[in-house]
Amino acid sequence: MAAMWLLLYGLNAYWLTAVHKPKLSLRKQLVFPQLNPAREFQTAQAATSASPSSGAIAVNNFDNFEKFRLDKPLTNGFSSYVLAVDPPEHHAIALEDLPIVTVQLPIFNERYVSRRLVDAVCQMDYPRDRMQIQVLDDSIDDTQAILRETVQEYQNQGFWIEYVHRVNRSGFKAGALQDAMPLVVGNYIAIFDADFIPSVNWLKDTIRHYVESPDAKVAVVQTRWGHINSEYSLLTKLQSTGIDGHFAIEQQARSNNGYFLNFNGTAGIWNRQAIIDAGGWHADTLAEDMDLSYRAQLKGWQVVYDNDIVAPAELPVAMLAFKLQQFRWAKGSIQCAKKLIFQIWQADLSLPVKFQATMHLTGYSAHPLMLLLILLSIPLMLITPDDAIALRISFESIWSIFMLPATFGPPFLYFHAQRELYPKSWHRRLGRIFLLAVLGTGISWSNSRAVFAGLSNTGANFRRTPKFDIKHKSDRWENKAYKIPLDATATIELSLCIYSAIASGLAFSKGLYITLPFMVLYALSYGYVGGLTFWQHWQQSRN
């Protein structure tokens, strides 16, 4: 059963990759009888390259062409087509048409990056009298003083910026956002976490979705996360690869196909009325962003994802911080599943929408299933039937039939994301895709704990992910504040590494050569995650 459920997740990764592009129209350009498709592409390119302003993208090889979905296929000897991607008529929005936007910055103990965030927001190209900035500070350290001083500086310069401090952190981030709602002036609310650095044009680019389609029932516009420190270490490289796949493929597929998707907690703009209509921010899960997004969509609102607008952010550089972040996301999504899954299946929605919402909300349940498979591997291999061949057939069929397709689903998704986002350097990033499987498998113990925590209660004990203003490889973080205490998780991960190594040896001795690579992957994964956790903790303890 566990293997079948993992297979379902793997197959869904293939599906989302296949449908993530918006359906593009075709425009017939030339008619060349008896031409093969490859030559038709080349001819179309030659015909359009002289007039790039035509708005058509000619494709001269199948490698580039296969990324797009077509209304009808090219047929031999019929005609030549190019993708008709008429660029949207984006005109400058008149000053009087720009709505008032409230920018909310929820912050808790971020001494190293809080000033950076406020600076970036105040530098955004938007009229000062139409951009209300709320610094929602729950900090209990010197971040308070930093933010009070920063806000005062910008107030003196004429910015519409307010400092809001709560003594009682009730509801954590969700509580801060909900408590600030009576103070909101704008009809639209942009939200940024402390680790983000929005670009100068971000607000004007994103608000277009509301200004140009005022009658659309859009609850929130989510933009893609970028990375300011993706090249800092192997850990940040792997994180950026995973995040790229989530946004460029998963979120784009959900948005373009009418599936439910979520606001990712930051780098998006909400319609204030959608928040009110959905019941406001709730603090009963650790994923208040996903919770509100789904409640709004159940009320008939739409969540829009724009892959072309990017908001750079700082990735966690410490393994403990990364696992803490993943724990929070895993627990929160499972809490949302408990809270909303029955409402989704009772709602008047199509079966594909219900299915994709279920896969989305329960995605982290793959981790306890992965953990279960490795824990059962040795007992299953030790059960020796009378016929050794029967052992190979019965045991390896699990891995060949179920696990192989499931295993290659996510890499397939990440491959296409890298290829689309980095067309000139994607081939140099292939190694990251395979190593990402090591990281994802290695955190299965930590995320399994999160899943069971989400199933067992609805309480939300929020633990923030510390940021250290890390942008360059020369930047150091080990001697900075906000150290996360080491718990038993790393010890268990190293124990699982040893267990997986024993399973690898057992699989080899029994000739289970299809199973063997999976056992080795488990051993490497737990060794990397647990080992790096101990190594970084030791480095911090020296400072």
* Cα separation, 28 vs 84, whole angstroms: 9
The residue with tokens 């690898």 is 504
Lowest mean pLDDT among 32-41, 74-83, 345-354: 74-83
| DSSP bridge partners of 134 | 104, 162
Q: What is the pLDDT of residues 413-434, one digit of tens each?
A: 999 999 999 999 999 999 999 9
The residue annotated as part of the active site, out of 138, 195, 291, 306, is 138
Marked catalytic residue, from 195, 205, 244, 289: 289
- Token pair 């829009």: residue: 304
Residue 315's contacts (CB-CB under 8 Å, 6 or more residues apart) are: 227, 229, 230, 232, 236, 239, 240, 243
CA distance 152 to 156: 6
**Is a pLDDT exceeding 70 seen at residue 401?**
no
Report the pLDDT averaged over residues 437-460: 90
User: SS3 letters for 415-458?
Assistant: HHHHHHHCCCCHHHHHHHHHHHHHHHHHCHHHHHHHHHHHHHCC
Residue 28's nearest CA partner among 65, 75, 80, 77 is: 80
Contact 261/290 with Cβ under 8 angstroms?
no
How far apart CA 177 and CA 137 sit, in angstroms, is 10
Task: Please say if the pLDDT value at position 229 is more than 60.
Answer: yes
**Phi, psi at residue 102, to the nearest 5°?**
-95, 125
What whole-number distance in Å separates Cα of residue 161 and Cα of residue 200? 17
Instruction: Provide the whole-model pTM.
Output: 0.86
- Range with lowest mean pLDDT among 28-37, 97-106, 200-209: 28-37
Local confidence band at 457 (pLDDT 50, 70, 90 cut-offs):
confident
**Is 193 noted as a catalytic residue in this protein?**
no
**pLDDT number for residue 71:** 38
For residues 27 and 400, give the distance between their C-alpha atoms in angstroms, rounded to a whole number: 44
d(CA 300, CA 496): 46
What is the SS3 assignment for 363? helix
Task: Tell the burial category of 62 from Cβ atoms under 10 Å away from its Cβ (0-12, 13-18, 19+).
Answer: exposed
58 and 109 in contact (C-beta within 8 Å)? no
Cα–Cα dist 171/282, whole Å: 8
Chain-centroid distance, C-alpha 309: 15
Q: Is 142 a catalytic residue?
A: no
Using DSSP, state whether 121 is helix, strand or coil.
helix
Domains contained in the chain, CATH given? 2-15+363-541 (no CATH), 25-84 (no CATH), 95-340 (3.90.550.10)
Task: Average the pLDDT over 487-515 and give the result.
Answer: 94
Between helix 114-122 and helix 143-156 the angle, nearest 10°, is 20
Provide the pLDDT for residue 40: 39
Cβ(149)–Cβ(95) under 8 Å?
no
| pLDDT score of 6 more than 80 | no
Tokens of 273: 């009325």
For residue range 297-310, what is the model confidence (pLDDT) as tens digits? Answer: 999 999 999 999 99
Give the other-Cβ count within 10 Å of 347's Cβ: 15
Q: How far apart are CA 358 and CA 346, in angstroms?
A: 13
For 58, other C-beta atoms within 10 Å of its C-beta total: 22
Position 134 scores a pLDDT of 99
User: Tell me: the pLDDT tens digits for 469-498?
Assistant: 999 999 999 889 998 999 999 999 999 999
Q: Crossing angle of helices 2-19/366-382, nearest 10°?
A: 140
% of the chain at pLDDT higher than 70: 81
What phi, psi does 227 have (nearest 5°)? -140, 130
Residue 66: how many other CB atoms lie within 10 Å: 11
Query: Residue 87 is encoded by which pair of tokens?
Result: 């660029």
* Structural Rg of the chain based on CA atoms: 25
Instruction: Find all residues with CB under 8 Å of 345, minimum gap 6, and list them.
Output: 354, 358
- To which H or E segment does residue 107 belong? strand 101-107
DSSP code of 183?
G
Name the β-bridge partners of 302.
218
**Low-confidence winner among 53-62, 129-138, 153-162, 353-362 (lowest mean pLDDT):** 53-62
